[in-house]
Amino acid sequence: MLFTPIYAAILGLGFVRLSFLTLRLRRQNKIALGDGGNPQLLRAIRVHSNFAEYVPIALILIYMTESIGAPIYLIHFLGISLLIGRLSHAWGVSQENENFKFRVFGMIATFNAIIVSSLYILVSQFI
């Protein structure tokens, strides 16, 4: 059984949730393109965009790590790290009175998943 698809599915639902939140703000503020100078919409756009920027590469790397035979505990560590990282980052950035601890923790957890899986792949290919 592969586990990366489970994390991908959960994160996919999270992406749709962030999309709906952004669309709702666009409708409420009648802003079809850009942020219209609305700081709340700008935050929602950045949360959604940041998710779209980091999650695909992280999932590809985690899947590759799993496909070359990494231990299941490592795959769960990477998947949970990515999931919690993206939730923490989204929460932190979406708050008007932003608590940078959530944002920073989210980026560290996300980078952790990317870096560890990248290193695992590189090391396993040369040993």
Mean pLDDT value of segment 55-65: 98
Q: Give the whole-angstrom CA distance, residue 78 versus residue 68.
A: 15
Candidates 3.30.450.20, 1.20.120.640, 1.10.10.10, 1.20.120.550; correct CATH number of 4-126?
Answer: 1.20.120.550
Span 76-121, pLDDT tens digits:
999 999 999 999 999 999 998 888 999 999 999 999 999 999 999 9
Q: Give me the count of residues in the chain.
A: 127
Q: Is the pLDDT of residue 72 over 90?
A: yes
Q: Cα–Cα distances in Å, from 74 out to 16, 24, 42, 91?
A: 27, 37, 35, 25
> What angle (nearest 5°) sits at the alpha carbon of residue 82, between those of residues 80 and 68?
80
> pLDDT tier at 23 (50, 70, 90 boundaries)?
very high
18 in Cβ contact with 94 (< 8 Å): no
- Enter the pTM of the model: 0.94
At residue 99, the pLDDT reads 85
The half-sphere exposure of 115 on its side-chain side, counting CA atoms within 13 A, is 6
* DSSP 8-class letter at 30: T
Mean pLDDT for the chain overall:
96
45 in Cβ contact with 51 (< 8 Å): no
The residue extents of the domains of the chain are 4-126
By percentage, how much of the chain surpasses pLDDT 70?
Answer: 100
Name the token pair of 103: 């944002």
> pLDDT tier at 20 (50, 70, 90 boundaries)?
very high
Mean pLDDT value of segment 11-31: 97
